[in-house]
Amino acid sequence: MKRHLLRVTRPVVEFEDVIAAVRHHGGRVGWLELGEAAAAPLPASLEGAAGIGVLRAVAVGGGRAVAVKPMRGPAVLRDVLREHFRGCVLVLVHGEVDAPRLESRDGDWVVSWETGDQRLTSDELAAALRKPRPWPIAEET
């Protein structure tokens, strides 16, 4: 299954219909925040563990898990996707990334790239994501 990236600028709650449609069609969706502010604030215990050199610090409870992995140097997108988003057909990326942009427009979704755009309903978008190349542009993930 091919993983597709779509760049977004709005909060995750505004993409609930897309996420529900992809899940209804049997797909998984990930959300990736890029940038310095995306990783803060962290629980003090995780921040401390990461600061003294553990491989990974994880907190589990309340129906979720939070993992902190100290990094040396800038993030490598391909590595982040492989490590954290295996099995996702769609990763919505909030931040600067070279990927088509997804926006809501009048109850539909518009996927835009440098040379054009495509307007789709949530179900049409979910169906398009099942294809290896849903947009008429080259993708690399």
Q: What is the pLDDT of residue 38?
A: 67
| Segments making up each domain of the chain, as ranges | 1-34+75-141, 39-71
Residue 124 backbone phi and psi in degrees, to 5: -65, -40
Q: What is the pLDDT of residue 84?
A: 92
Q: What is the pLDDT of residue 67?
A: 87
Closest CA to 121 of 106, 134, 99: 106
Instruction: State the burial class of residue 22 (Cβ atoms within 10 Å of its Cβ: 0-12, 13-18, 19+).
Output: buried
CB 109 within 8 A of CB 127: no
Q: Is residue 40 classed as helix, strand or coil in its secondary structure? A: coil
| Measured distance CA(108)–CA(122) in Å, rounded | 7
| Measured distance CA(84)–CA(66) in Å, rounded | 12
Residue 127 backbone phi and psi in degrees, to 5: -65, -40
Print pLDDT tens along the chain (141 aa).
789 999 999 999 999 999 999 999 999 999 999 886 666 678 889 989 988 989 999 999 999 888 888 888 888 999 999 999 999 999 999 999 999 999 999 989 999 998 899 999 999 999 999 999 998 765 444
